[in-house]
Homo-oligomer: A and B are copies of this chain.
Amino acid sequence: MARIASTGPHVVVVGAGFAGLQVARKLKRAQVHVTVVDHYNHHLFQPLLYQVATATISPGDIGSPIRRVLRGNLNTTVLLAEAKAVDTSRKVVECDVGDLSYDTLVLATGATHSYFGHPEWAEFAPGLKTIDDATEIRRRLLVAFEAAEREPDPEQQREWLTFVIIGGGPTGTELAGAVAFLAHVDLVREYRRIDTRQARILLVEALPRVLTAYPEKLSEHARRDLEKLGVEVRTGSMVTGVDAEGVVMGQERIRARTVLWGAGVAASPLARTLGAELDRAGRVKVTPQLTVPGHDDIYVVGDLASVVQNGRPVPGVAPAAMQMGRHTARNIRRQLEGRAPEPFHYVDKGSFAVIGRNHAVGTTLQERLKLSGFIAWFGWLFIHILYLVGFRNRLAVLLDWGFSYFTHKRSVRLITGGSAAELPELKHREPSKAQPPLPPFVEKAPEVRVH
């Protein structure tokens, strides 16, 4: 127990992502008390989540307990709870554990993926937003190779070795590159009946190019890098169906046992309870000061906010969220001093998308500099290392992580939460020594008989 060190108005911050955490941190010395409400006990370094999903790093490397990050903020209380709605007339946040009153409210609950009106696809094509999502995707990827190794029928084996990733944005391209690396590099030599290099990895995007948020030249680079890694890139292809057998694109059906979802953005449903105007993705259209129109006491920051600047939307990336968070903390302090909040200006310091192990594409300095290949990857690494340090405040963690990343000596290929129990049963077959059920590409069939 640490003593609460301040009095003053009560600032409630809902969501401890990049934006929310910055608000709380930057209010450390303000004469307020802060309550941070989050459904999870950990802040998540989301840009590296795809590496957990593809068994490169551990969940613990990118999740940091919110309490630990904020333990030096003696004016701050952390509450593990789910915010259900905002009641602006009573000035309370309705949580699963009861109502929480506020003087100033900051909403930073972010966004999740959207299935474009097909929620039934979620079961077959999991998205990637939380650590539980990532370990579930990891489980499905690893189980697919195990099932292929056990499967004597070549047709079904091919289905197990076909991976479809839907959505050519950063999440989709990073996932596709990492799955290709897993299959075509990491797992080679570990199986006896399948050649993991034969695995087919498809990246499907409805628009004419991948990474549409980047300049066209970089999209081309990314496409080439993906193809070098063995990814089939299908742009201009609209997915019209997802089920247990694979995906449907118009007339074409691709039979695949593993489908991953990297498309669509839908704002957290909490926004709807505000009664404010939302954009198409459900984000709150905020004032230039990032407040809800008509509510000076409610800020919306991060991916939940729809901010247009110089005619372009501020992108849903971590640096933008952190800038909004810091700006809002400053505005709250200004309001305490009786001054008016100032408008927010986004500074684009660059963004990167990684393809495979040491390639990336990216832009810096408001797109004046376009990078690709190894240099871009190095830039990506540099930026992420900067953020990791700020985020965890610990050089040791950085060294630890950098070390295992560079040497690639650790591989977190654990099937947990289900294990073999959820592998499909093989069909029963009559024993037969004359016709070994192994795929023909095994030169010398061992006497392992799965009848």
Contacts and interface: CB of A to CB of B under 8 A. Distances in A.
Interface of A: 1-5, 7, 10, 33, 35, 39-42, 57-61, 63, 65, 67-68, 71, 76-82, 95-101, 131-132, 135, 142, 146, 149-150, 187, 189-196, 394, 396-397, 399-400, 403-404, 407, 409-417, 419-421, 423, 425-426, 428-429, 431, 441-451
B1 A33 contact: no
Contacts of A419: 39-41, 132
Nearest to A444: B4
A71 B41 contact: no
29 contacts: A1-B193, A1-B196, A4-B443, A4-B446, A33-B448, A35-B446, A39-B421, A40-B415, A41-B420, A57-B60, A58-B60, A59-B412, A59-B416, A60-B414, A65-B413, A77-B192, A77-B193, A78-B192, A79-B149, A81-B420, A81-B423, A82-B420, A82-B421, A97-B150, A132-B417, A135-B416, A394-B409, A396-B407, A396-B409
B451 A1 contact: no
Contact of A67 (B99, B191, B396): B191
A403 B153 CA distance: 47
Nearest to A142: B41
Contact of A414 (B1, B59, B96, B421): B59
A446 B97 CA distance: 17
Nearest to A56: B60
Name the residue in A1, A40, A194, A446 with the highest tally of chain B Cβ atoms < 10 Å from its Cβ. Answer: A1
B413 A68 contact: yes
A2 to B, nearest CB: 5
Contacts of A412: 58-60, 63
Q: Main SS of chain A's interface residues?
A: loop
Contact of A98 (B58, B190, B450): B450
A444 B195 CA distance: 65
Contacts of A451: 98-99
A61 to B, nearest CB: 7
Given A1-B196, A100-B448, 16 more contacts: A4-B192, A4-B442, A4-B444, A10-B446, A35-B448, A41-B142, A58-B61, A60-B412, A63-B414, A67-B187, A77-B193, A80-B423, A98-B426, A99-B449, A100-B449, A135-B416
Contacts of A5: 444
B65 A448 contact: no
A414 B67 CA distance: 11
Given A40-B420, A60-B414, A415-B41, A7 B444 contact: yes
Given A41-B415, A400-B404, A416-B132, A80 B192 contact: no
A68 B189 CA distance: 9
Name the residue in A33, A404, A410 with the highest tally of chain B Cβ atoms < 10 Å from its Cβ. Answer: A410
Contact of A431 (B2, B78, B99, B423): B99
Contacts of A40: 415, 419-420
A440 to B, nearest CB: 12
A416 B1 contact: no
A180 B416 CA distance: 27
A39 B420 contact: yes
Contacts of A446: 4, 10, 33, 35, 77
